[in-house]
Structure 1
Amino acid sequence: MDDTPVLALDAEERRRAGDRLLTLLDDHERGLRKAPIVPDLDRDLLTELLRTPMPAKGIGVDALFDEITDRILPNSTTVAHPRFLAYVQGPPTGIGPYAEAVAAAINQNCNFWQLSPAASVVERSVLTWLGDVVGYPAGADGVLTGGGSLATLSGLAVALHDRAPDFRSVGLQGQPAPLVVYTSAEAHRSVDKAAAVLGLGLDHVRHVPVDDRYRLRVDALAAMVAADREAGLRPFCVVATSGTTTTGSVDPLDPIADLCAAEDLWLHVDGAYGALFLLCEEKRDLLAGCARADSISLDPHKLLFAPLEAGCLLVRDAAKLRSAFAFSSSYLTVAADPLMTDYMDHGPQLSRDFKALKVWAALRVFGVDAFRTAIGGTLELARHLARRIEAEPTLELLAPVELTAVCFGFRGVADHSAVLARLAAEGTALLGPAAVRGRSAMRACVTNYRTTRADVDLLVDRLVAAGP
C-alpha cells in the first residue's frame, strides 16, 4: 500500500525530479550563448497555456518537466545571456538555484525567530556584512525586501515615523503642515510611487534639477527647501541617488548630507543600482557619503547576482526602524533572544521567505573577492564600450559613464527604436531605450559577469556595419 502523502513525491518521483532538474540547469548553463536573448514568442502555445484548465488528476513529474522544457523555457527571456544589456539586472550566481531549492524545501517563515532560528541568524549575518560595506555603525540594522522599490518605500515610512509628530497615531491626517520630500529629476520612479502609496501625494514631491553630469544640484535643493518652509510646508526627507537608472550618475552625497544635517532632514539614499560598487576600491571615494545616510536601499539581486527577489533596507539607527514597524500581538509572542531577530518588526511584511540564504550561500561559496572581481569587470567593460563609441564617427556618447550604464546614439538620429528592435531580433544584443535631456538614446548596462570584451566589440562592430 502506497503511504506517500497526497502532495508529496515518492522515492522514485523524487529521483526523477532531481534528475530532470539537474539536467535542465546544466542544459541552461551550457546553452546560454546560443540561446536567443529575446524569445520568438509562440503566441498560440501561450494562449493554449493560458486557457488550459488545471487537471483534476495530476500529470506527474516527467510531464511537468516536459511542459517546462517545451513551453516555458522557449518563451522566456534569456536574462543571463552575455549580451542582455537592457536593464540593471544580472544573472544569478551558479549556486543561486540550489540555495533557492533548499530555501523552498525547508520553507522557513522569517517573521519571528521561533519559526526560523537559523534563517534569522543568516539574515542578521548578511545585513551586518552589508552594513559594514556601506560604512554604517554597529547600531544599524535592516531587513531584506523584495527589491529596491519596497526598500525605498519602507525607508520613507521610517522617515515619516521619525520626523512627523505622533505619526503612528494620527498619520498624515493630523500633521500641522503638509510634508515634502525631495529627490533628483533623474531619480527612480520608486520615489514617486512611495510618496503616492504612503499618502504624501505627488504634489509634495520636489524633483530637483540636475547638473551637466545628471547629479542633483545642491544649490537648487537648498532653494526649494527654503521656499517650501516660507510657504508654510514642512520639508522632512531627501532621497539622493547613488546610481541613477538611466545614466548611472551619483548625486553629491556629502554636500547633500551636510544640507540635511543643517536643515534637520532625513536622508535616504537609493543605492539599489550603485551603492554596492563600494566593493570596488576605485568607487569608494565616490560613494563614501552613503555612510552618512539615515537609511539606504540596496539590491543584492543586482550587484551580488542573487536570484530575484533580494532587496535590502538598512537604517542607521535600529531603534527607529523598529519604532516604525513593530507591533505587539499575543499570538506572535516569543521570548526575546539576543542571538535572534524578529524581522516582522523591521518591515511591512509578516510572512517572509528565506531571501538571505541565496545571498549568504553565494558569499560563502565564492568569497567576497570574487564579487569584487566580477563587479570591477563590469566597470571596465562599460569603460571599454564608451571608448569604442567615442572612437566611431557615426556614434556619440550622450552621458558620462560613472558606473556601468552607457547612453549613446547615432549622430543625427532622432529615434532609435528601429535600431533597438533590429539588434534584438537578429540576436546581437538587447539594449534599452533611454531619453537623455529629451533626446532619444540607446542604453547598455553591463551587469553580467559573463559578458566579455568580445561581446562589447561585437555589439559596436554590428552597429557600425549596419548603421541606423
Structure 2
Amino acid sequence: MADVPILGLDKDHREAAGRLLTSFFDDYERSIPDRPLVPEVDRDVLAGLLANPFPDKGLGVEGLFREINEKILPNSTTVAHPRFLAYVLGPPNGIAPYAEAIAATINQNCNFSQLSPAASVVERAVITWLGGLFGYDERSGGILTGGGSIATLNALTTALHARLPGFREQGLQNSGPQLVVYTSVEAHRCVDKAAALLGLGTDNVRHIPTDDHFRMRVDALEDAIRADRAAGREPFCVVATPGTVTSGSIDPIDAIADVCEREELWLHLDGAYGALFVLSERKREAFAACTRADSIALDPHKLLFTPLEAGCLLVRDRSLLAKAYAFSSSYLTVEEDPLMLDYMNYGPQLSRSFKALKVWSALQAFGVDAFREAVDHMLDLAQYMADLIKADPGLELMTPVSLTAVCFRIKDASAADHTAVLAELIEEGTALLGPACLDGRQGMRACITNYRTTRDDIELIVDRLSEIARRRPATDTPETTL
C-alpha cells in the first residue's frame, strides 16, 4: 500500500473516524430532548482549551473524538432542543451533517467556475429557485453569503454603485450631498452596521416610526424624505422588513415600493427572518409585493434549516452585482460559460466555501413540500401559543402574531420580573425564551423556528408561565417582584 500522506488518514483510521462520527450523530440525535438548553459551563475546561498548547504529537482520531465528547459538547448550547425558542435559529435538517462532510471532502473554492464547475451550477440553481419564490425573472441573480447581515451590507454596496457612477473610483470622497438610508425603528441593527461600514454614517440612517402593529409608517417615511431633500441631502435607499426580528411584523411593502418608485430610491428588503415564510400558501399573498424590491436578503440557515452559515442576497438585476464586485485579474482569467457563473464577480470574497451544497442537498433529499409543511407547522404552533396566552388571565399578548414570533407579558410585571422569569425558565430546563421590548413595554418572546417543537412543548411552556403568573399577589403593582 502506498505511503499515507503526512496529513492523511490510513484505511484503519478512516474507518475509525467514520464509525466515531456516525456514533456521534446518532448519540446526539437521541439525546437532544434531554440535553440542557444552556450548558452549565465548566470554566476550568474552557480555560484549559485556551491556555494549553497544541500537542507536538497528535492525539489521533480516538483522542480527538474523546476531547470533543468530553470538553466541547458538554459546553455547547443545544440549539436543536425543541424548547430553544429565544432566537431566530432553528436546528439543522437531518441531511445537513452529511452534506457538510461531502463539501469539506471535495473542498471546492466557489470563486470562479474552473475551480468549482458543479458547485457553480448548484449555487446558480439554488439562487434561481429562491428568486423564483419572489417572482424574480431571468434577469435576476444573487449569491450565498455568511448570513442576512452580510447580505444587507452587500445590497447597500450594490445600491451605492448603482446610484453613483463614480463610486468605485471615488467612494464617498467627493463633495456630493450626504446620502440617506431609511428603515424602521423595528429594523435589525445590520442596517446601521452597514451604514457605518460603508462610510455612510449612522447619522444618515433614518429610523422611521411604526404603527400600532409595529410596521413602518409610510406617511412618516414620506415626511422624512421630503425633509432630507429640503435640507440638501440625497435619499437613496429604503430598507423595509417583511418580518421584523422582534415581533415578526410585515412592513407595507407595496406602499413602500410605490414611494421608492416615485422618489427613485433603491428598495432593499431585510427578509433574514421572514422572507422564507413565502413557502407557506397562507402567507404568500403577504409577500407578493416583495417582487418589486431591488434586492432581498434572506437566510437559508433559518427556515430551510441549513447549518450555519448560509445567508443569501437576491438582486432583481444581477448585472448590478457585477458592476459593484467584478474586478479583472490576469491570473483568474477564464472564458465565459453560459452555464456557469464566476461568483467572485458577485460579492466581496474570492475564496468561498461550497455553501450551496447543503441547501441543495436538503431540497433534493426532503423535497420542497417538506419545508412547506415545516413552515406551516411552526405558524400553527405560534398561533396556538398566542391562543393559549390570550386565554390565560395572568398573561397578555403584546401584539398580534404575524409569523412565528410571539411577544407577551405577565400582567403587571416589571422589566426586572420578566428578566427573572427568563432566568428561572432556563435554570429549571423549561425553555429558553428571549426578552422583548415593544413601544417601551418589556416582556418576553418565543420565536418558533424549530421543526422539532410540538404542541406539548408549547403547552408545557405556557402552563409554567401561567403558574408563575398565578403566584403573584392580587395587590401587586408593576414594581413588585415575582
Residue of structure 1 equivalent to 2:298: 298
1:356-371 correspondence to structure 2 within 5 Å: 356-371=356-371
- The letter of the residue matching 2:423 is A
1:394 and 2:397 aligned: no
Per-residue Cα deviation, 1:134-155 (whole angstroms, up to 9, x for no partner): 1111100000000000000000
Q: Which residue in the other structure is 2:467 paired with? A: 465
Q: Deviations over 1:222-256 (max 9, x none)?
A: 01001100100000000000111100001000000
TM-score norm. by structure 2 comes to 0.96
Query: What is the CA distance between 1:175 and its match in structure 2?
Result: 5.0
User: Per-residue deviation at 1:387?
Assistant: 0.5
Give the corresponding residue for 2:83. Answer: 83
Q: Which residue of 2 aligns with 1:219?
A: 219
3-state SS in 2 of match to 1:165: coil
In the other structure, the counterpart of 2:423 is 421
For 1:126, give the aligned amino acid: V
Counterpart CA distance in 2 for 1:178 and 1:440 is 36
Calculate percent identity across the aligned residue pairs: 64
The alpha-carbon deviation at position 173 of structure 1 amounts to 1.1
The one-letter code matched in structure 1 to 2:56 is A
Q: How big is the shift at 1:2?
A: 7.2
Contact kept? 1:181, 1:236, Cα under 8 Å:
yes
Q: Distance in 1 between matches of 2:86 and 2:291?
A: 30
Aligned equivalents of 1:230 and 1:466: distance in 2?
54
Q: Take 2:339 and 2:136, find their aligned partners in 1: how far apart are those partners?
A: 20
Q: Which moved more, 1:157-166 or 1:244-253?
A: 157-166
8 Å CA contact 1:131–1:140 kept in 2: the answer is yes
Q: Compute the displacement of 1:285 (Å).
A: 1.1
Is the Cα–Cα contact under 8 Å of residues 165 and 175 in structure 1 kept in the other structure?
Answer: no
- Structure 1 segment 268-347 matched on structure 2, within 5 A: 268-347=268-347
**Equivalent position amino acid for 1:398 in 2:** M
| Residue 3 (structure 1) shift | 1.1
SS in 2 for 1:172: coil
Counterparts of 1:149-160 in structure 2 under 5 Å?
Answer: 149-160=149-160
d(CA) in 1 for partners of 2:155, 2:427: 40
Secondary structure at the residue paired with 2:240?
strand
Partner residue, 1:108: 108
Matches within 5 A, 1:240-259: 240-259=240-259
CA distance in 2, matches of 1:246, 1:381: 17
More divergent stretch after superposition (406-415 vs 150-159): 406-415
TM-score by length of 1: 0.99
CA distance in 2, matches of 1:259, 1:337: 39
8 Å Cα contact 1:236/1:264 also seen in 2:
yes
Contact 1:242 1:270 in 2 (8 A): yes
Shift of 1:466: 2.9
Return the offset for 1:124. 0.3
Asked whether the 8 Å contact 1:164–1:175 carries over to 2, the reply is no
Counterpart residue number, 2:165: 165
Q: How much has 1:409 moved relative to structure 2?
A: 1.2
Q: In structure 1, what is the Cα distance between the partners aligned to 2:318 and 2:389?
A: 46
Which whole-Å deviations, capped at 9, do the CAs of 1:369-406 have from their partners, x for residues lacking one?
00000001000000000000111111110112100000
Q: What residue number does 2:378 align with?
A: 378
Equivalent position SS for 1:384: helix
In structure 1, stretches of 5+ residues that fail to align are none
- Give a deviation string over 1:52-110, Cα, whole Å, max 9, x none: 11000101000100110111111100000000000000100000000000000000000
Quote the Cα distance in structure 2 between the aligned partners of 1:462 and 1:70.
33
The count of aligned residue pairs is 468
CA distance in 2, matches of 1:125, 1:443: 36
- Paired with 2:267 and 2:165, the residues of 1 have a C-alpha distance of 18
Q: What is the one-letter code of the residue matched to 1:340?
A: M
Amino acid across the alignment from 1:112: F
Q: Which amino acid aligns with 1:66?
A: R
* Structure 2 portions without partners, runs of 5+: 470-481
Alpha-carbon distance in 1 for matches of 2:289, 2:84: 31
Secondary structure, in 3 states, of the residue corresponding to 1:31?
helix
Look up the match of 1:430: 432
- Counterparts of 1:451 and 1:86 in 2: how far apart (Å)? 13
Could you say which residue in structure 1 is the equivalent of 2:126?
126
Cross-structure match for 1:350: 350
Compute the RMSD of aligned alpha carbons.
0.9
Residue in 1 that maps onto 2:45: 45
For structure 1, which segment, 433-442 or 192-201, has the greater mean C-alpha deviation from structure 2 after superposition?
A: 433-442
Structure 2 Cα separation of the partners of residues 398 and 215 of structure 1: 14
Report the Cα distance in structure 1 between the residues aligned to 2:215 and 2:467, rounded to whole angstroms.
34
Separation in 1, partners of 2:192, 2:458: 34
Equivalents in 1 of 2:2, 2:66: separation in Å? Answer: 25
* Distance (whole Å) between structure 2 residues aligned to residue 338 and residue 444 of structure 1: 46
Deviations 1:197-224 (A, max 9, x none): 0000011000000000000000000010
- Counterpart Cα distance in 2 of 1:273 and 1:57: 45
Q: What is the match of residue 439 of structure 1?
A: 441
SS in 1 for 2:34: coil
1:165 CA drift (Å) = 3.4
Deviations 1:306-334 (A, max 9, x none): 00000000000011111011000101111
Partner of 1:451: 453
Output the CA distance in 2 between the equivalents of 1:275 and 1:436. Answer: 21
Instruction: Give, in whole Å, the separation in 2 of the partners of 1:136 and 1:222.
Output: 27
Mapping of residues 33-72 of structure 1, within 5 Å = 33-72=33-72
- 1:6-64 Cα shifts (integer Å, max 9, x gaps): 10111111000000000000111111111111111111111112111100010100010
Q: Give the distance between the partners of 2:289 and 2:52, measured in 1 at CA.
A: 54
Aligned twin of 1:96: 96
Deviation string 1:263-290 (CA, Å, 9 cap, x unpaired) is 0000000011101111111111111111
The residue type equivalent to 2:385 in the other structure is: L
What secondary structure sits across from 2:32 in the alignment? coil
Alignment match, 1:405: 405
* Aligned 8 A contact 1:414 1:439 in 2: no
SS in 2 for 1:32: helix
* Pairing 1:175-214 to 2, within 5 Å after superposition: 176-214=176-214
Supply the distance in 2 between the matched residues of 1:441 and 1:119 (Cα, whole angstroms).
45
Runs in 1 of length 4+ with deviation above 3 angstroms?
none
CA shift, 1:434, in A, is 1.4
Q: Could you tell me whether the CA contact under 8 Å between 1:246 and 1:405 is conserved in 2? A: yes
Any conservation in 2 of the 1:420–1:432 contact (CA below 8 Å)? yes
